[in-house]
Each structure stands twice: as C-alpha cells, then as structure tokens.
Structure 1
Amino acid sequence: MSVRGSLLKGPLGFGAAPLGNMFRNIPDAEAEATVDAAWQQGGRYFDTAPFYGAGLSEIRLGRALAKHNRNDYVLSTKVGRLILDEVETGKRDFGEKSGLFEFGRPNRVVYDYSADGTLRSIDDSLKRLGVERIDFVWIHDVSRDFHGDQWLHFFEIARTGAFRALTKLREQGVIKGWGLGVNSVEPCELTLDMTETQPDGFLLAGRYTLLDHERALQRLMPAAAAKKVDIVIGGPYSSGVLVGGAHFEYQKAPPEILAKVERIRAVAQRYSVPIKAAALQFSLAHPAAAAVIPGASRPERIAEDHAALAFVIPGDFWRELREQKLVAAQAPLPIDR
C-alpha cells in the first residue's frame, strides 16, 4: 500500500515532535489537548519518533490516541536511535538538533541503524505508544546533518540493516511501508537509485518549503514523482521562522533568511494571504507530495493549520512570488494545476 493511498482521509497530518518538549516544557494536559484538537479537526495521520524528547512524544501521543479505535488513524514513527534506560549525564551531540529537546526525558539516546536495532526500536516504540502496530516506519536522520563526513558509513549500516529489516516487515504485512525521515535530499536521492530495496516514501523535513526548496527540485521531487515514491513534507514552516518564530533549521535564523521571510511576508500582506496558507499549499502543490505534517504544541494552532489549508489564495499572489523569484521558476504552484 502506498503512503498516498493510506492518507486519503486528508493531506494534513500532525507532526508530534513538539510533544517531546521541543524548545519548551509543555504540560501534559496541553500536549493531550493539542492531539485532541487535531482529531476534532479531522486529522488522522500522526507522526512521531523515539528521538523526540527521548520517548516523551511517543508516550504522550499514545496516551492521547488511546481513546480512539486504532483502525481509524495512520501512525508512523522512526528508527535509527534507541532510547536507553540509563540517564544521560554528559552533553548530548545531535548535530543541528543538539539542545532541541533539552526539556525532554533525560534518557540516554544512541544511534543504531542495524537490523537488530531496528527491530528493537520498533518493539520499544510499540510499548511507549501502547499500540499493537505501526503503519509506516521512517529511518531517522541518516544524513550529513547529524553524522558529518561519516554519514555514508551510517547510511551503509542502514542499507544492510534497517532497509532490509523493514522490507521484510513490509513483505510480512507487519508494516504498510517504510522510507527515510531526513532533513536533507542527498540520502533520499541515493536511496532512489538503489535496486535491491525500494522505499514507499520519504518524510522530508524542511527541504520542500516556501522558504527552502531549490535543492529538492533539482532531482529528488521529479524523480520521486516519476517512481511513484511519495513525499511527506515535514517542517513546512521552516522551524517556525515563516510564521513569526525565531528559528530556522532548529537554530536562530540568520539575517539573510529573515530578509527573505520579510519579502515573502510583504507580498502576502498585499494580497491578504496568511503565511501559513501559502506555506502549506505550496508544499502540497508538487505532484510528489502526499501529505504535510506541521508540528504543534498548542490546541489553537491546529485550527489555524486547517483554516490555512482551506484558504483560497488568489493566483496573482503566486504569480508575484514567481516574478520576484521568491519561489523557483520550476516549482509547481497551485495555479499550475
């Protein structure tokens, strides 16, 4: 079953990274209310990961979804990191995500892309989520962003370990599909070129957004569309900087990014277009995009996201973005359909 075929109830999903206390210490009640709001608005696709708060996101998401029938929603999580019982006492180094979950659980987190590590990770996630099955599994952060020049070494471990283990689980009907969950296009392109195993999709975070999409357009997006490998778009607001936040790529946004955001914002204001609407609808306009999963930790944000997706954006807005070269010339836009 394809990713797209499993998400027919709507292209707007819920990214549960904030439930792991991303950037701030979120009360349990607020986290649960946010998931409840997503459900009430019709959201039926939920994505999480062991890394988010060292298991905290999975625990909270599982508790909130326990009140619903498991057959009524699609669930994905990730492998590549194991959450240990021991407490981490030293400084954590997670590349660009270092410090992102400083308010999460203190458990030690280790990388493991092997077949055994993949199976153990899934088993641990099932327990934290309190469910009997997971629909889609993404191999998490097997990229240069987190492993530097050693990323190909880790990718090779995943290729002979996680790739094969997940392919077997798919063949056995244990999961519906698998792919990579990354913040860069390079490992996705490499995976698409392989012949021994084929992914069902990718969760691409931050690389096909209104603010940052040129690299993905060069090869990944058209190649994925041609091979019918679906892309789930994560981080459509570019870590929040597109919608008034201070972060881009999980760090403080640099001046050149803030300047581009202001140019986009100026065009949006002229046409009375909410930035969220432009961001979500841009990401979904590409034929390869199957769903978009903005994160949220406040219930009111959910209604904003759904309203943004339904907002009718005038064609002249998109044309001006293209004329001002604020979007790539080859980027598909809603007016092109």
Structure 2
Amino acid sequence: MGPAGHAVSRSAQSIFASARQKGNTIFNAAPYAGGVFAKGSDKVKRITYQVVDDAALAPVKRIEAVCAENNVAPGALALQFSLRQAFVGSTIVGVSKPERVRQTLGWSYDAVSSDLWRTLEDLPFDTVDPEAERVYVPG
C-alpha cells in the first residue's frame, strides 16, 4: 500500500472499508510497493513486484519529487503512511540487507510535516487494481 497504494492507486479502499466494518484487521506487507519507494524508481522499475514502464512510474516519480522538495526519504513517507493508518493493524517490512533494519527504524521516526501529508492527499491517484494485470509464473 504505502504512498503507491495511496497516491498511485486507491483501488482497495472499498475492501479496507468492508474489512473495518466487519472488525477485521489489515496487515500491510508491502509498504514500499515492492521496493520502489525504498530503493528509488531509478533503481527499481517495478510496482508491487511487476515490471512497469515509465508511464506507470510517473506517480512514483511525483511522490519522489515532493519528498525531495521536503527533504524526506520516500521510504520514510511510505512506511509512515502505513503506520499512521488506523485500519492497518500491522506493517510488515522485508529487508534485503542487515543495514536496512537500521534504515527502516530511522524512517519510522523521520519527521514528516502535516503540509507534506496534505500535499500527498492532493496528488492524483488511480482506482485501477494494480493486481489486475499481474503476471503469475509458477515455480
């Protein structure tokens, strides 16, 4: 989910609302949208683990630009977006290297201004399910 799940796609809002209404808890196991917000769109050309083109990365690049203007790491924004959602009961973060543990902990405490959160809310978003075109390859 993360900002990619928010500013890139809001397709899951009805599912989240239904889960809340039924008393269910959401576990977010992809706060960085498959790594793009942790490592950057210049290194990771994927969203939710699917290879994407530059057009699909445009919303990510918008978020990265806003983060750069506000001196906030996109990873911090993505992680804190998940952590601050009342409907997310737990945020699960995978790390690729031991030093990423320290980085993740730091990102969870980095200051994110209320102005930046409002800017994020105002960014355009999509309502298309990012899983709709997922290519599953067995094995």
The bucket for the TM-score relative to the shorter chain is 0.7 to 0.9
- Please say if 1:229 is aligned against 2:28: no
- Farther-moved stretch of structure 1 (301-310 vs 224-233): 224-233
Q: In structure 1, what is the equivalent of residue 54 of structure 2? A: 255
- The verdict on how the C-alpha distance between 1:250 and 1:257 changes in structure 2, with shifts beyond 3 A counting, is same
Cα offset, 1:238, TM superposition: 1.0
- CA–CA distance in structure 1, aligned partners of residues 24 and 45 of structure 2: 33
RMSD of the alignment, in Å?
Answer: 1.9
Q: In structure 2, what is the equivalent of residue 40 of structure 1? A: none
- CA–CA distance in structure 1, aligned partners of residues 73 and 126 of structure 2: 17
State the TM-score, normalized to the length of structure 2.
Answer: 0.76
Cα offset, 1:269, TM superposition: 0.9
- The verdict on how the C-alpha distance between 1:215 and 1:327 changes in structure 2, with shifts beyond 3 A counting, is closer
Q: In structure 2, what is the equivalent of residue 212 of structure 1? A: 5
Instruction: Find runs of 4+ consecutive structure 1 residues off by over 4 angstroms.
Output: none
- Which one-letter code corresponds to 2:47 in the other structure? F
- CA–CA distance in structure 2, aligned partners of residues 284 and 222 of structure 1: 17
Cα offset, 1:297, TM superposition: 2.4
State the TM-score, normalized to the length of structure 1.
Answer: 0.33
- CA–CA distance in structure 1, aligned partners of residues 65 and 126 of structure 2: 14
- CA–CA distance in structure 2, aligned partners of residues 266 and 302 of structure 1: 25
- CA–CA distance in structure 2, aligned partners of residues 273 and 224 of structure 1: 31
Cα offset, 1:326, TM superposition: 5.2
3-state SS of paired residue (2:12): helix
* Aligned counterpart for 1:299 among listed residues 89, 98, 116: 98
Identity %: 31
- CA–CA distance in structure 2, aligned partners of residues 320 and 288 of structure 1: 21
Q: In structure 2, what is the equivalent of residue 318 of structure 1? A: 117
Cα offset, 1:319, TM superposition: 1.1
- The verdict on how the C-alpha distance between 1:307 and 1:282 changes in structure 2, with shifts beyond 3 A counting, is same
1:208-234 deviation line (CA, Å, top 9, x unaligned): 2311241111x1112222222111101
Q: In structure 2, what is the equivalent of residue 273 of structure 1? A: 72
Question: Which structure carries more strand by proportion?
Answer: 1
Q: Is this contact kept in 2: 1:233–1:293, CA < 8 A?
A: yes
- CA–CA distance in structure 2, aligned partners of residues 240 and 253 of structure 1: 13
1:254-313 deviation line (CA, Å, top 9, x unaligned): 222221111101111111111111101112332210111121120011111111111120
Q: Is this contact kept in 2: 1:240–1:246, CA < 8 A?
A: no
Q: Is this contact kept in 1: 2:45–2:53, CA < 8 A?
A: no
- The verdict on how the C-alpha distance between 1:323 and 1:249 changes in structure 2, with shifts beyond 3 A counting, is closer
- Please say if 1:308 is aligned against 2:107: yes
Once the two structures are superposed, the pairs formed by residues 128-143 of structure 1 within 5 Å of their partners are none
Q: Which has the higher contact order (CA 8 A, sep 6+)?
A: 2
Cα offset, 1:327, TM superposition: 8.8
- The verdict on how the C-alpha distance between 1:319 and 1:326 changes in structure 2, with shifts beyond 3 A counting, is farther
Aligned length: 120
Once the two structures are superposed, the pairs formed by residues 1-337 of structure 1 within 5 Å of their partners are 208-213=1-6, 214-217=10-13, 219-243=14-38, 244=40, 245-325=44-124
